[in-house]
Amino acid sequence: MRYVGASPGRDRTTWHARWGAGSEFGGRAVAAGVTPRLYNSLGRKQVGFRPLVPGRVSIYSCGPTVYSDPHLGNMRPYVFSDTLRRMFEWKGLEVVQTVNITDVGHTVGDTDLGEDKVELAARRQETSVWEVTRRHTEAYFRDLADLNVLPHTHNPRASDHVPQMIEFVRVLEERGFTYRLDSGLYFDTGRSPDYGLLALMPAGAESDVVRLEVVPGKRSRADFAVWRSERDRRRLVHWESPWGPGVPGWHLECSVMSRDLLGDRFDIHTGGVDHREIHHVNEIAQSTAFLGVADAARWVPLWMHNEFVLFGRQKMAKSRGRMPVLRDVVSAGYHPLVFRYHLLGAHYRSQMDIGDEGLRAAAAALRRLLGRVAPLRPLPEVPTFAAAHAALTGEAGRAALARVDEAVSDDLNTARVLAELNGVLRDEALGEADKAVLVAAVDVLLGLRLRSLSPEEVTAGGELAVAADFVEELVAARAQARRDRDWARADEIRAQLAELGVRVVDTPTGSHWEPVATGSPD
């Protein structure tokens, strides 16, 4: 099967042989423990990791668009990338991590035309763009702190890097990778030999770009704006450029800021799985064109993506109305780290549903864990694998540490790390001192504050609030399914609503819904 922009004769088998064979990247082995094996979206295969620069790992993670407070699904990528960072630092490596703040350029629907998400929020709230971004950026950092996410090395804001973006686009234009339309300057994806390979996008498959809008004059529907013109609308915020006043395309910022802060090459790019299909594909196209390299791996060798968080079996998305945020978890009576524990109980590449039942189970499990840990306090300081290994007194403890290291090195298998920790706490052959070392080591890896959090702080909680407009949308979808006599779909939505603690009552004049009790906390 051929791919968009692929040279004649290139097929899936050839490509997997090229980038999916599990070859390790340049540099020396990690400082301690086993070599991590991480799942590379570029090839869909687990590969051995070695840093480009010995002793140092550089990570770029796609950050939030700060037009509203981040919902629970938005926070999963940062707990995931924080765990990745913790694993490397535990192995004795220096980590430089950049997470951007998108405060300009991201349009509604991730499209090239249309209104900027931040500007739309400012108009609706009758305030300035900068007030919107300030307030929601503060909420984002507050949530990161509550979830015990380590401070990032860099948090660049897109609006501070527009001059560099303009210069980046100027280079692309000089090299013949762009063309002009009234609506802006567009990147010609036909000039990118490996365009779409990250997403496994077959050539001519309209289904892969169906959610991209049709823009008059575009050579290909996959082509994307690197500069959006102001000719069609007066923006609240814009910049002068060689292509007239306007704003940078959304995909541009990450290519520019990662290069400014991490260099022409860096080790790992992370983000949500939704970025894998378009946003990261477009980043790769423009960055490889700018750098003059042949393919994605010669820019960033390793691409990692976390899966969606579901709410009522549907993907969390701000477009569906107000989704639960971290303060809703706290308002329901849970400590924020219950949510972190809940995330770590699943693999980052698996979808997971957030709801009352899952949070109650996570709270109960974390309470039990803290109850077993409390007698071992104060825990020793063992910031690295090497320090933990040196602090252990017996072979049983060192074997347990090796199992923890193998689990976290196996593509961040945090659920297995938690299982190993619970096994350690039940193991009568281990002394109290070695148990304390192992608990401290796991706390470094998972960031659950096991050395200080008390079981009393982790309450069983009440019920997680469900946005009424989200429920109304589901009820309306069920009503339409019933009108279409799609009884299977109607039953599926009813089950969804039941999981959310909502009962639908059908009457001759229509349907209405009401909340129902979900039972007492455990």
What pLDDT digit, counting tens, does each position of 405-457 carry?
999 999 999 999 999 999 999 999 999 999 999 999 999 999 999 999 999 99
Q: Are 232 and 217 in contact (CB under 8 A)?
A: no
Number of domains present in the structure of the chain:
3
Asked whether residue 282 is assigned to any structural domain, the reply reads yes
Q: Could you tell me the residue range of the domain that residue 303 belongs to?
A: 12-309
We report the CATH number of the domain holding residue 401 as: 1.20.120
Same-domain pairing of 409 and 449: yes
Q: Are 220 and 201 in contact (CB under 8 A)?
A: no
- Dihedral class, residue 391 (left if φ above 0, else alpha if ψ from -120 to 50, else beta): alpha
Same-domain pairing of 93 and 212: yes
What pLDDT digit, counting tens, does each position of 232-249 carry?
556 667 889 999 998 998
Asked whether residue 284 is assigned to any structural domain, the reply reads yes
Asked whether residue 2 is assigned to any structural domain, the reply reads no
What pLDDT digit, counting tens, does each position of 456-503 carry?
998 766 665 555 656 676 777 788 788 888 888 787 777 767 766 677
Same-domain pairing of 259 and 345: no
Same-domain pairing of 335 and 235: no
- CB count, 10 Å around CB of 450? 23
- Binding site members for ATP: 318
Asked whether residue 354 is assigned to any structural domain, the reply reads yes
Asked whether residue 315 is assigned to any structural domain, the reply reads no
Which amino acid is located at 284 in the chain? I
Same-domain pairing of 79 and 215: yes
Same-domain pairing of 210 and 353: no
The first and second tokens of residue 268, run together, are: 């790992």
Helix runs in 320-431, H state only: 326-331, 336-344, 356-373, 385-391, 395-409, 414-426
Q: Which CA distances in Å does 481 have to 68, 313, 472, 475, 487?
A: 32, 17, 14, 10, 7
Which amino acid is located at 335 in the chain? H
Same-domain pairing of 437 and 481: no
What pLDDT digit, counting tens, does each position of 75-105 carry?
999 999 999 999 999 999 999 999 999 887 6
Same-domain pairing of 394 and 481: no
Q: How far apart are CA 518 and CA 357, in angstroms?
A: 9
Q: What is the pTM of this model?
A: 0.82
Same-domain pairing of 214 and 297: yes
The first and second tokens of residue 188, run together, are: 């010609």
- Binding site members: 62, 254, 279, 283, 318
Q: Are 143 and 326 in contact (CB under 8 A)?
A: yes
Q: Are 221 and 112 in contact (CB under 8 A)?
A: no
DSSP state of 337: H
Asked whether residue 476 is assigned to any structural domain, the reply reads yes
Same-domain pairing of 371 and 285: no
Asked whether residue 188 is assigned to any structural domain, the reply reads yes
- Binding site members for Zn(2+): 62, 254, 279, 283
* Residues forming beta bridges with residue 58, ordered by sequence position: 96
Same-domain pairing of 253 and 116: yes
Which amino acid is located at 63 in the chain? G
Asked whether residue 317 is assigned to any structural domain, the reply reads no
Place of tokens 């129902």: 516
Domain boundary among 253, 275, 309: 309
Q: Are 187 and 284 in contact (CB under 8 A)?
A: no
When pLDDT is cut at 50, 70 and 90, the band that residue 404 belongs to is very high
Secondary structure of residue 309 in the 3-state scheme: strand
The first and second tokens of residue 147, run together, are: 């979830």
DSSP secondary structure letters along 190-218: GG-TTTTTTTT-BTT-GGGGTTSPP-TT-
What pLDDT digit, counting tens, does each position of 13-53 carry?
333 333 333 333 333 345 578 999 999 999 999 999 999 99
Q: How far apart are CA 293 and CA 290, in angstroms?
A: 8
Q: Which CA distances in Å does 451 have to 436, 441, 455?
A: 10, 11, 12
* CA proximity to 376, closest of 449, 454, 453, 436: 436
Q: How far apart are CA 419 and CA 359, in angstroms?
A: 18
Q: What is the pLDDT of residue 313?
A: 52
Q: How far apart are CA 1 and CA 131, in angstroms?
A: 49
Same-domain pairing of 451 and 500: no
When pLDDT is cut at 50, 70 and 90, the band that residue 368 belongs to is very high
